[in-house]
Amino acid sequence: MVEVRVLDKNDSPPSFEGAQTEFSVSEEVGVGETVGQVRAIDPDSLGGTVYTLVSGGDGKLVVSEDGRISLAESLDREAEDTYLLGIRASDGSQASHALITVHN
């Protein structure tokens, strides 16, 4: 007897549905600290999801491959009170994007 297993095809992009898209952070939060986390769900069973910052943040905010948003520089509310981040979630062949707002 021969068993044949059919593997899932990577035909669906990760989805940010239900993800929090707005975060508030105090200007007292230190450099390197996490201010938020984004998460996308990939309906395919293959691989993981990698996150990248594609726009915004003015160099003050960064996104790690696992979706953590953290400070690269100190924030000053008087200089800038809102940052819009364009974040990409990719499973290697499919991708989706979300716009995240960070209030200071």
The model's pTM: 0.84
Q: pLDDT tens, 68-82?
A: 999 999 999 999 999
Determine, yes or no, domain membership for 31.
yes
Establish if 49 belongs to a structural domain.
Answer: yes
pLDDT exceeds cutoff 90 at 6: no
In tens, the pLDDT along 7-37 reads 767 678 899 877 678 999 998 999 999 999 9
**Cα diameter, the chain:** 72
Query: For residue 17, what are its two tokens?
Result: 């549905």
Task: Look at residue 60 and tell me if it is in a domain.
Answer: yes
CA–CA gap between residue 23 and residue 10 (Å, rounded): 31
Assign residue 84 the CATH number of its domain: 2.60.40.60
Domain count, the chain: 1
Q: Is the pLDDT of residue 90 over 80?
A: yes
Angstrom distance (rounded) from CA 20 to CA 22 = 6
- What order of strands is seen across the sheet that includes strand 95-103? 22-24, 95-103, 82-90, 50-55
Q: What's the domain range around 48?
A: 22-103
Q: pLDDT tens across 28-71, in order?
A: 999 999 999 999 988 876 668 999 999 999 999 999 999 999 99
Does a structural domain hold residue 15? no
The whole-angstrom separation of Cα 47 and Cα 62 is: 23
DSSP state of 68: E
Q: Which two tokens stand for residue 7?
A: 């593997």
Residue 6 lies in a domain: no
Asked if residue 54 belongs to a domain, the reply is: yes
Give yes or no for a contact between 31 and 5, defined as CB atoms under 8 angstroms apart.
no
Sheet bearing 61-63, strands edge to edge:
34-37, 68-71, 61-63
* 62: in domain: yes
| 45 domain residue, yes or no | yes
